[in-house]
C-alpha cells in the first residue's frame, strides 16, 4: 500500500513537471527527454507491470518469485537516485543562471569545440572515407563468418571473443555514421548521403541489437522538435506521439527478428506482452532480479573500471572478462556470460552494486548536473541571436549526442562508444588539419 502511494505520487509529480515544461515551451529538450527515456518509462511507469505473473515467460517461474521480494526495495533505490538527479539538475540550473549574467560567451567551450568540428567536417568527403572503411570491415567480418544468422551477429560475437572488438568497432562506427548522416540530411538533402544512410541502417540491423538504429532515429526526432519547440502545439504533439509509437513497433519487431520471428501479425498480437512483460523496458525488473541473487558484497568500482577499460579486448584482459557489468549480472543470476549479454539494471543499478545507496546518490547527482549543463547549452544556443539554422541544428544534435554518451557513465556496458566518438573526432580534426595545409598550398577548397 505504501509503495503504491509512493508510485502514484511520483507519477503525479512527473506529470506536473512535464505540464509545466509544456507551458514554458520546453517540453522536448535534452533534459526532459533524458528523464523520460532513462527514468520515467523503465523505472517509474513499468513499476506495476513488474509484479504480473506474465513476466514468467521472460524470467522463469523460480526467478519470478525470487525477484518479487526485492521489487519495492529496488524501486525505493531508484527513487533516491531520481531525487538526487533532480538536486544535481537544480544546482546546475541555479549556477548557470547566475553565471549567464556575468559572461555567456566563454561558457561551454568543450561542447562548442565539438559542434564546430562536426559542422566543418560533415561533408560528402568525410562520409565517403568512413563509408569505405565500413565496407572494408564488413568484408572482413563476412570472411570470418559473422553473418551466419543475418539478424543476430551478437550471438556469434559472444562465442568468438577474439573477434568481438572487430564487431564492436564496426557497429559503433555504424551508429555514429547513422546519427551524423541523419543530421546532415535534415539540413540538406543528398542522394549519396541517403544511400550511405540506407546501407548503414542495413548493416546495423544485422547486429541483433536495436539500440544503434533506434537511438539514432530518436536523436533526429528529438533534434527536430527541440529546434522547433516554440512551434509545438497539439498537432505537433500528435506527430511526436505517432513517431514514438512507430519506433516502439520497430523495437518490438526487431527483437522478434533476432528470434527468427518474421511475421508482423504475430508481433502485433503479442505487442502488449512484449512491451510490458518482455525485455524492452525491463530495467526495474532486472535490477530486482540481480538483487535477489546478489550476495551483498559491494564491488567498489570494479565494473565501472572494467567499462572504462573497454578499449582493451576482454579476450586479453582477465579483469575485464570477469568484472564487466554484463558478466557480473549474468553470472550473478546463474547465466553463462559466453552466451548471455547480461541483464539491464537501469541507470542506478550499477552504482548501487558498486557503492550502495551512497553511490546511487552521488552518481545520480552528477548525472543530473551533467544533463542539465548540456540542456542549458542547447537552450542558450537556440535562444541566441544571429545563428543560422544549420548551426542551431548541429548544436542541438551535439547536445543530444553528448547526453546519449553520458549514459555510459551510469551504465558502463556501452563505454566503448565514447572511445569511438573520440576516434571519429580525432579523424575529423586530422582531416581538418590536412585540408588547411592543402588549401594553403594549392588554394583549393575541400568542398
With beta carbons less than 8 A apart as the criterion, state whether 97 and 147 touch: no
Q: How many domains, in total, are found in the chain? A: 1
Tens digits of residue pLDDT in 9-65: 999 999 999 999 988 888 899 999 999 999 999 999 999 999 999 999 889 999 999
Q: Which residue has the cell 572478462?
A: 321
Alpha-carbon span 98 to 254, nearest angstrom: 46
Domain that holds residue 170: 2-442
> Is the residue at 120 inside a domain?
yes
More confident residue, 169 or 82: 82
> Is the residue at 447 inside a domain?
no
Which whole number is the average pLDDT over 218-224? 88
DSSP string, 371-417: HHHHHHHHHHHHHSTT--HHHHHHHHHHHHHHHHHHHHHHSGGGTHH
Tens digits of residue pLDDT in 275-334: 788 887 889 999 999 999 999 899 999 999 999 998 888 778 888 888 999 999 999 999
Q: Which of 407, 375, 400 is nearest to 31 (CA)?
A: 375
> Is the residue at 129 inside a domain?
yes
Alpha-carbon span 45 to 75, nearest angstrom: 11
Which whole number is the average pLDDT over 258-286? 73
Q: What is each CA distance from 359 to 91, 298, 367, in whole angstroms? A: 19, 10, 12
Tens digits of residue pLDDT in 150-178: 666 666 666 666 677 888 888 889 888 99
Say yes or no to pLDDT of 390 above 50.
Answer: yes
Which whole number is the average pLDDT over 386-403? 86
Handedness of CA 150, 152, 154, 160 (dihedral sign): negative
DSSP string, 212-258: HHHHHHHHHHHHHHHHTGGG--HHHHHHHHHHHHHHHHHHHHHHHHH
pLDDT at 430: 85
pLDDT band at residue 1 under the 50/70/90 scheme: confident
Grid cell for residue 342: 547480461
Say yes or no to pLDDT of 104 above 50.
Answer: no
CA 279 to chain centre: 16
> Is the residue at 94 inside a domain?
yes
Tens digits of residue pLDDT in 344-361: 999 999 999 999 999 999
Say yes or no to pLDDT of 392 above 90.
Answer: no
> Is the residue at 351 inside a domain?
yes
pLDDT at 247: 72
Q: Which residue has the cell 548541429?
A: 394
Say yes or no to pLDDT of 445 above 60.
Answer: no
Which whole number is the average pLDDT over 389-401? 88
Among 36-40, 89-93, 240-244, where is mean pLDDT lowest? 240-244
Amino acid at each position: 500500500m505504501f509503495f503504491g502511494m509512493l508510485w502514484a505520487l511520483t507519477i503525479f509529480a512527473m506529470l506536473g513537471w512535464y505540464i509545466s515544461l509544456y507551458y514554458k515551451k520546453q517540453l522536448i529538450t535534452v533534459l526532459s527527454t533524458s528523464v523520460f527515456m532513462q527514468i520515467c518509462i523503465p523505472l517509474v511507469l513499468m513499476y506495476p507491470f513488474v509484479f504480473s505473473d506474465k513476466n514468467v515467460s521472460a524470467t522463469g517461474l523460480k526467478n519470478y518469485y525470487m525477484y518479487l521480494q526485492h521489487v519495492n526495495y529496488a524501486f525505493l533505490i531508484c527513487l533516491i537516485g531520481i531525487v538526487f538527479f533532480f538536486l544535481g539538475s537544480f544546482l546546475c540550473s541555479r549556477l548557470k543562471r547566475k553565471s549567464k549574467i556575468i559572461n555567456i560567451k566563454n561558457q561551454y567551450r568543450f561542447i562548442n569545440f565539438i559542434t564546430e568540428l562536426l559542422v566543418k567536417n560533415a561533408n560528402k568527403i568525410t562520409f565517403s572515407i568512413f563509408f569505405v572503411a565500413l565496407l572494408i570491415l564488413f568484408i572482413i567480418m563476412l570472411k570470418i563468418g559473422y553473418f551466419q544468422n543475418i539478424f543476430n551477429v551478437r550471438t556469434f560475437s559472444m562465442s568468438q571473443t577474439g573477434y568481438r572488438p572487430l564487431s564492436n568497432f564496426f557497429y559503433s562506427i555504424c551508429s555514429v555514421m547513422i546519427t551524423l548522416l541523419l543530421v546532415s540530411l535534415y539540413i540538406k538533402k543528398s542522394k549519396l548521403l541517403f544511400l550511405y544512410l540506407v546501407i548503414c541502417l542495413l548493416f546495423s540491423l544485422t547486429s541483433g541489437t536495436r539500440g544503434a538504429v533506434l537511438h539514432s532515429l530518436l536523436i533526429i526526432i528529438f533534434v527536430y522538435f527541440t529546434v522547433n519547440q516554440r512551434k509545438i502545439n497539439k498537432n505537433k504533439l500528435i506527430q511526436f506521439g505517432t513517431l514514438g509509437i512507430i519506433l516502439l513497433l520497430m523495437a518490438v519487431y526487431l527483437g522478434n527478428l533476432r528470434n527468427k520471428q518474421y511475421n508482423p501479425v504475430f508481433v502485433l498480437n503479442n505487442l502488449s506482452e512484449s512491451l510490458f512483460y518482455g525485455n524492452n523496458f525491463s530495467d526495474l525488473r532486472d535490477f530486482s532480479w540481480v538483487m535477489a541473487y546478489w550476495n551483498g558484497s559491494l564491488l567498489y568500482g570494479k565494473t565501472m573500471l572494467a567499462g572504462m577499460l573497454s578499449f582493451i579486448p576482454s579476450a586479453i584482459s582477465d579483469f575485464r572478462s570477469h568484472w564487466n557489468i554484463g558478466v557480473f549480472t549474468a553470472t550473478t543470476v546463474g547465466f553463462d556470460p559466453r552466451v548471455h549479454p547480461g541483464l539491464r539494471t537501469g541507470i542506478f543499478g550499477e552504482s548501487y552494486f558498486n557503492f550502495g545507496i551512497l553511490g546511487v546518490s552521488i552518481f545520480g547527482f552528477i548525472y543530473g548536473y551533467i544533463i542539465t549543463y548540456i540542456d542549458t547549452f542547447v537552450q542558450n544556443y537556440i535562444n541566441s541571436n544571429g545563428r543560422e539554422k544549420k548551426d542551431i541544428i548541429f548544436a542541438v544534435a551535439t547536445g543530444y549526442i553528448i547526453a546519449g554518451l553520458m549514459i555510459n557513465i551510469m551504465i558502463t556496458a556501452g563505454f566503448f562508444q565514447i572511445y569511438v566518438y573520440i576516434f571519429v573526432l580525432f579523424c575529423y580534426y586530422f582531416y581538418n588539419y590536412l585540408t588547411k595545409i592543402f588549401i594553403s598550398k594549392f588554394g583549393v577548397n575541400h568542398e
